[in-house]
Structures are given as C-alpha cells and as structure tokens.
Amino acid sequence: MTPWWQEAVLYQIYPRSFADSDGDGMGDLPGITSRLDYVRDLGVDGIWVSPFYLSPMNDAGYDVADYRRVDPVFGSTADADALLRRAHELGLKVLVDLVPNHTSSEHAWFQAALAAGPGSPERARYHFRDGQGRGGAQPPNRWRSVFGGPGWTRVVEPDGTPGQWYLHLFDVTQPDLNWEHPQVRAEFLDILRYWLDRGVDGFRVDVAHALVKAPGLPDYDDAPAAPLTAAGDERPPTHLAPMWDQDGVHEIYRSWRALLDSYGEPARILCAEAWVHPVERAMLYVRPDEMHQSFAFDFLDTPWRAADLREVIAHDRHALASVGAAPTWVLSNHDVVRTASRLGLPAGSPRPNGLGPRSSVRPDPGLGLRRARAAATLMLALPGAAYLYQGEELGLPDHLELPDEVRQDPVWVRTEHRELGRDGCRVPLPWVGDAPSLGFGPSERTWLPQPPEYAALAVDQQVGRPGSTLELYRRLLTLRREHGVGSAALTELTGYGDEVIAYRLDGRSGALAVVVNLGASGVELPGGSTLLVASDPLVAGRLPTDTAAWLLLAEAP
Ligand code: NOJ
Ligand code: MG
C-alpha cells in the first residue's frame, strides 16, 4: 500500500485571497470553511493553508508574531478548529504552514532581544553581531536579503545609541532565528506539538533550507542566475552559499520526524519548501527519517520544451527513488507568476518576479492558458504527490495591470521597484461572475483589485461547462484517483520524436498513456487507444501543438 502522502494531491489555500466571510476585503478562516465543499468536489486529497497566525503582515503573514494564535483578521482559534473539523468530515487532510527560519520583529523574543542589549541571552536566539568599520557602522558581512537590499539592519540600543546589527534573509521585519540555540529547537518542537494536538495532518515548512548558517557567517556574494536546461544544470550548487542548504538542517528535520511519527498512523507529514539544487542535494530532505515531501521546484522552473521537461522529470524521479522517496510535483504557488501567464512568455525566458504594465516581456494569454492546461495534464499524470495553487484550476492569469500604489509585497519596495514582486498571483479568487468582489466576499472590498478578465473565469462560469479549465481539472483528478496514477509505474514511450513527452502508466486498472505535444505539428495517438481526457480538443484526430492527453491503452490480446 502506498502511504497517502506519496500520491496525494494537495490544494494550496492562500487565506487572504480564498474567500472572505465578513466583508472586510481580506479572506479568512470561516471563508475557507464555507468553501471546503468546493475543494472536496475538485477531487483533491487535502489542503495546505498558508500562514494565518498573529502577524503585522509585512510579508503577508510569513512574519509570525505568535505561532500559537490566529490573527484576528483571519478569525479565532475556534475558527481554526472548525476548519479542521469540517475538512476532516469531508475526508480532506489539512497541512498548515510553519515558518521556522525567522519570526516577526514583533515576536516577544525579538522585542526582548532589542530591550536586553548586546551580549544578552535574549539576543542569542537571533543573529546579532557588531558592525564592521569605524564605530561598527558597516554591516557584519555582505549578505543580501532575498527581497533586495542588505541582509542586515542596525538597531538602536536601549540607551539610544546606534548599536548591533541583526540578520534577516528576508524583510527587515523578519529577523532570522539562531538555530544553534537549544531554546529555538525546543520552542519549535513545542509549536509542532501544539498544532498536531489540534489535529493537523502536517506542515509545509517555509524556507526549510535556510535554518542553519555556515559557522562564522562567512562573507559571500550572490551567484549570478544561470539557466536550467536539458543540456545541463549550470547553476552553482545552492549549498555553496553559506546561508542555504547547510548540512546541519537535516538533524533538525530528523527530530521533527521522530515527533510526528510518535503520533502514529495515518502519518502526519512534513513538506519542505527548499529551493535547492542539484537534486542530489534536494533529495537529502526526503530520506526515510526526514521529511515526507519536498517540492520539485526544478519542474516548475523548467522551460516549456519537451527535451528539458523529459530530462528534469527523469532526473528527479531517479534521484528521489534512490532514497526511497517519490517526487512532489508543483507548477505554481503564491510566490511565482501564475502558470497561465508564465507559460505565455517566450519559452526559456527567465522567470520574472512579477509582471506588470511596464514589464519588458508580456505574456500571450491564449498561449499561456493553453500551455497551462497541458502542463497540468502532464503534472497530474506523474506518479508522486502534487500541489495545486488555488485558482490554477480556473486557469487564472496574474493580474498584469496592478497599479503600483496597491502593491504590498515588500519586494517591490526593497528592490527599489526593480522587481514588481508577487502581488499579481495573490489576487482574491473569483467565485461568481456578476457579484460584488466576484463572490470573494459579501462586500465590494478586496485587499487587491481583481482584473476584469476574472469575471468570465469565475467558478460559477466554469462549473459544469464542458471544456472549461475547472472541468478539465476535475476530470483529471477523478481519473487520477480511479486509475491509481499517483502510484503507477511509469515508462517512457519512444517513437514520438523529440518534441513530444509520452509515458506509459501501469496503474490500478490497466495501462494508460499520457502524451504531450510541444512540437509544431499534430501527433498521431497510439492505435486502438481510447481518449480519456485532453487539455484541448483534438484536430482531425491528432493531438495538436501544446496539448496533452490521457489515453487508455488497448492491451495486447
Ligand atoms: C517562502 C514563502 O513562500 C514566501 O511567501 C515568503 O515571503 C518567504 N518564504 C519568507 O518567509
Ligand atoms: Mg475577512
């Protein structure tokens, strides 16, 4: 029997933008609970809910001020319990988000560290250092923040003088914790226990590759970006950077795994958000005594080219199998341009951090949606687990015309507007085509404006409509379950040429094939096979460009 998490499809809910119950324009936990039937009807196995904890919301809740409290904007602890109860009634697993690399600067620990001064035990739970140069006016090293600008900020000491510096790999309001400190380790085990005892089925672990830093915090300049192609991965290994993928993280995850295992069956799970390469390093996170899943971000980052995709899929599967794990496929989340926009860019162009009216590249929306549908049809055919980001099942594009004044991602400010940031993929969902806030909530208010094209893509416009993206996803998820695709044996089908991806899947009921055409001309489907689903209609019996299909293969007599 395959354990549930090895073949599960999990649906990512971004609470701010899923559904608003009280009309304040911000999604909330009662909003999620009220829409869980929709999630169940989609045919997924569970949900991952992005952070809903007490937070000043400088990074949309990834800046946690109290890991055991629900932020009032999202509801109450009782609302979290109600969400869990309803999800479990519907047979859905629930993963919550754990943010262990940093706290909010409003967390009690950081406030205590500021008040206690240099050399205090309170400061030892973070990375405080004296500055360099005259009067310590220069940061301790050249590390940069992922969001732009220096990775260090200087504090004013309790006596009013300019003082030490603290490390923050993300926003200034997200100080990095010092994971060498035993209190930090003990505290997070306790936070895990708190949510496990409330009944959660697991955790998605934020920047799981960042917790441990190289001793002495040695200096480092960011490596230039390099492409990922079938010809080879030219990117320098992540762990050469002293803040990423250090070996010390693994013992932390082993201790968490032991705790989760102590809760018995069915397993409670850990899923790593670790942007780590090459896959020979990424696979270490899913060794049998560590995490259960780790997002296959290489798949998300691979250009829409058959040879590149084939190579990455094969390489990932092979590497993970060597540690007894299955891949966790993903195409989209709240940090990247949505698939329907991203795949509308010229194949191989670097993945932009946001798209807007003045971007140098503009997606072709028709092409993007067509490829997004084919990409989902490919991904859901791959054995292993998969994550879907809310709204992908509607084929939503990014909001490409967001006015600058409404942008909220700290990336926008910290890069001095060089990068637009992630607001475009975080826009509130459309549920009803002709309702205020497109049915997101009972009022007109939405924390980010919705683009006009979302009306026609609303759930009520797609449900039951043949050919809609929503019905495509529902069909794929139904077939995936029926045929046990998530735990099927996959073999590559040859003879289709270089521009086609074709696999045979031996699952629970017979043999299936998935064929994806990325070439210019139509592809003949295997003789005697029955078409189960296609991402777009066949043309003259052939699979056209940028289309994927699942087929039931005729068995030899
Ligand atoms: C990854 C999260 O997905 C992202 O939204 C967040 O900004 C960073 N980690 C920092 O927590
Ligand atoms: Mg609300």
Tens of pLDDT, residue by residue, the chain (557 residues): 899 999 999 999 999 999 999 999 999 999 999 999 999 999 999 999 999 999 999 999 999 999 999 999 999 999 999 999 999 999 999 999 999 999 999 999 999 999 999 999 999 999 999 999 999 999 999 999 999 999 999 999 999 999 999 999 999 999 999 999 999 999 999 999 999 999 999 999 999 999 999 999 999 987 666 666 666 677 889 999 999 999 999 999 999 999 999 999 999 999 999 999 999 999 999 999 999 999 999 999 999 999 999 999 999 999 999 999 999 999 999 999 999 999 999 988 889 999 999 899 999 999 999 999 999 999 999 999 999 999 999 999 999 999 999 999 999 999 999 999 999 999 999 999 999 999 999 999 999 999 999 999 999 999 999 999 999 999 999 999 999 999 999 999 999 999 999 999 998 888 999 999 999 999 999 989 999 999 999 999 999 999 999 999 987 54
Distance CA 501, CA 510 (A): 20
- 188 CA to centre of ligand 2 in angstroms: 29
Ligand 2 midpoint to CA 450 (Å): 16
Query: Please, what is the angle between helix 182-198 and helix 249-261, to 10°?
Result: 30
Question: What angle is formed at CA 496 by the lines to CA 493 and CA 502, rounded to 5 degrees?
Answer: 40
Rounded to 5°, the CA angle 384-386-389 comes to 175
Q: Which residue has the tokens 């926009």?
A: 341
In whole angstroms, give the CA distance from residue 44 to residue 304: 25
Write the residue with the smallest CA distance to atom 2 of ligand 1: 206
DSSP-H helix ranges across 63-222? 77-89, 108-116, 182-198
Cβ contacts of residue 204 below 8 Å, gap of 6+?
Answer: 48, 95, 96, 97, 98, 271, 273
- 411 closest CA partner among 172, 156, 68, 130: 172
Of 28, 71, 206, 316, the active-site residue reads 206
Instruction: From the CA of 410, give the closest atom in ligand 1.
Output: 7
CA dihedral 466, 472, 478, 479 (to 10 degrees): 100
> How far apart (Å, rounded) are the C-alpha atoms in residues 18 and 15?
5
Q: Which of 97, 273, 290, 311 is catalytic?
A: 273
Residue nearest to atom 6 of ligand 1 (CA): 62
**Which ligand is in closest contact with the Cα of 58?**
1
Q: Which ligand is nearest to the CA of 211?
A: 1
Residue 207 Cβ inside 6 Å of ligand 1? The answer reads yes
Q: Could you tell me if the CB of 335 is within 6 A of ligand 1?
A: yes
Annotation marks residue 499 as catalytic: no
62 lines ligand 1 (CB under 6 A): yes
The number of the ligand 1 atom at minimal distance from the alpha carbon of 50 is: 3
* Residue identifier of the C-alpha nearest atom 11 of ligand 1: 62
The closest residue, in CA terms, to atom 5 on ligand 1 is 335
Nearest to 270 by CA among 390, 146, 392, 385: 385
Query: Which ligand has an atom closest to residue 97 CA?
Result: 1
Cis preceding-peptide flag for 452 (omega within 30 of 0): no
Q: Which residue has the tokens 């809609």?
A: 468
Distance 473 CA to ligand 2 centre (A): 28
This prediction has a pTM of 0.98
Output helix, strand, coil percentages for the chain, rounded to the nearest 5. Answer: 30, 20, 50
Verify whether residue 206 is a known catalytic residue: yes
Rg, Å, the chain Cα set: 23
Question: What is the C-alpha to C-alpha distance for residues 231 and 414, in angstroms, rounded to an integer?
Answer: 35
Ligand 1 pocket, mutate which of 57, 169, 173, 207 (most atoms under 8 A from CB)? 207
Q: How far is the CA of 469 from the centre of ligand 2 (A)?
A: 27
Q: Ligand 1 centre and the CA of 411: distance in Å? A: 11
CA of 341 to the centre of ligand 2 (A): 28
> Are 400 and 363 spatial neighbours (Cβ–Cβ below 8 Å)?
yes
CB 4 within 8 A of CB 266: yes
In angstroms, the CA 60 to CA 79 distance is 19
Distance in Å, CA 207 to ligand 1 centroid: 7
* Ligand 1 near 206 CB (within 6 A): yes
Ligand approaching nearest to the C-alpha of 71: 2
Structure tokens at 323: 């540690």
